[in-house]
Amino acid sequence: MLKKRIAASLIVKDGIVVQSIGFKKFLPVGKPDIAIEFLNQWGIDEIILLDISATKNNLEPNYEMIKNAALKSHVPLTVGGGITNVDQMRELMHCGADKIALNHAALTNKDLISKAAHIFGDQCVVVSIDAVKEDGEYKVFDYINHKVLDIPVNKIAVEFQNLGAGEILINSVDRDGSYLGYDIDLINSVCNVVTVPVICCGGAKNAKDFIKVFNETNVSAASAANFFHFAEHSVNITKSIVKKDMDIRLETYADYSDSSYDENLRLNKKTDEVLENMLFIRIEKDII
């Protein structure tokens, strides 16, 4: 069985990584290449960089930003935002992107999915679906026009798969920035109808949410954005806790296996005696 993956979503607005809350409020975090450098050092499995302002402003992808991001990334890098044709996809791959994410373009030009899969292979094509729950049903959310479409999420996921999508990225608008945990019902509504890998995003607060979604759904990867940015070594700590329940990659020297955590799964301070002894321990520099 393939190991579950822990991914990081970087939401980029006007060239800056932002903290997104409900797809409405955006708080600045920092430069994409710096965020990527830290995530790599902390042992993330893959990075998903989504430029939410490019399509809205009728701009092409920011190729220079992707070049700089790719130089810092030593894990698979998925890039989305501003993509309308295969020539742009080809240029993004020349800049260092490993996979391409289509969102608004997948809704307005479905043939683009098939063209991309034919040229680059379906393993390079990720289709991102933003979802909201309305009247008890999960429907597609159009983030460009900020409105709910009368399109069931599970049905469009199957259609995208049949067109050639190699992965489905499902984003919960309702849970975005909420720290309420992943929407298990939404994720299962997609996982139960497609056979391609599914990545989920929206609502993660700590390692408990990753354990829950891995145990209760068939997602191949769980992604988080906001909470990875605001706690040092957040990826390592999350992985060390999740690894106790299931098989995941953990390739950093800092595995936190002998650490304790508070009720929110934040790292507790070690005793002064332990910290003093640690001064004499040789720690090799991580090579991810």
Q: List 130's β-bridge partners, or say none.
A: 171
Tell which residue, 96, 93, 102, has the closest CA to residue 120.
93
Strand 99-102 vs strand 125-134: parallel, antiparallel, or unpaired? Answer: parallel
Contacts of 9 (CB under 8 A, 6+ apart): 48, 50, 201, 223, 224, 225
- 23 and 73 in contact (C-beta within 8 Å)? no
CB-facing half-sphere around the CA of 131: CA atoms within 13 A: 33
Say which of 45, 51, 122, 130 is annotated catalytic: 130
Distance CA 99, CA 94 (A): 11
- 67 and 73 in contact (C-beta within 8 Å)? no
Which long-range contacts does 28-34 make (Cβ < 8 Å, 24+ apart)? 29/229, 30/229, 32/65, 32/68, 32/69, 33/65, 33/68, 33/69, 33/71, 33/72, 34/72
Q: Which two tokens stand for residue 131?
A: 């979802």
Is 130 considered catalytic here?
yes
Q: Which two tokens stand for residue 83?
A: 């993509």
Question: Cα 206 vs. chain centroid, distance in angstroms?
Answer: 15
Q: Catalytic site residues?
A: 130
